[in-house]
A and B are shown apart, each in its own frame.
Chain A
Amino acid sequence: EPEVTQTPSHQVTQMGQEVILRCVPISNHLYFYWYRQILGQKVEFLVSFYNNEISEKSEIFDDQFSVERPDGSNFTLKIRSTKLEDSAMYFCASRGQGSSNQPQHFGDGTRLSIL
């Protein structure tokens, strides 16, 4: 069964540095998402992306965050200047074309640790 893959599985970065989290969605999917989960807390929606533009974003997704689909396969989340509170698990998800109630398929996540 096709999977969403994320790299790296764990990234440690110093505060103030830029970080890029990478995701390869399922190949025929067209809708892409990023979520984060701070340790011990619930999964929070960050942003959704379709047709090469952001379709929706949450309050968390401020000017420090950006997303990009640089080629036909990758979907990246960039944090420009990381803060300690950005430490979390970041999950990428994708879903196929069709009705909006199709479930999203999640990657295994990238654990981001900010020192």
Chain B
Amino acid sequence: EAGVTQFPSHSVIEKGQTVTLRCDPISGHDNLYWYRRVMGKEIKFLLHFVKESKQDESGMPNNRFLAERTGGTYSTLKVQPAELEDSGVYFCASSLRTGGNTIYFGEGSWLTVV
């Protein structure tokens, strides 16, 4: 069974540009999460989808970040325009609707804004 996959694995963009990160959760997982780790900081929650609905987006830093999950399958996280402080690793994770809250992580998308 395929795990959570993320694309791109690494991205270097200039300040002011736009970047879109994609996440494909494990098939059948209703829950999809985005997390971010900025260098030296903890893994911070960004938002949580249940199917196509945003269950909790309290962690989104500002309106430059837009997440979507059309059809309840894959999700995208767009940063527009990117700022230097957006650099970090963006993790996507998914979990089953039932059976506990074990979440499975992707390998992360490393974003560097220069």
A and B interact physically: no
Interface positions of A (Cβ within 8 A of B): none
Interface positions of B (Cβ within 8 A of A): none
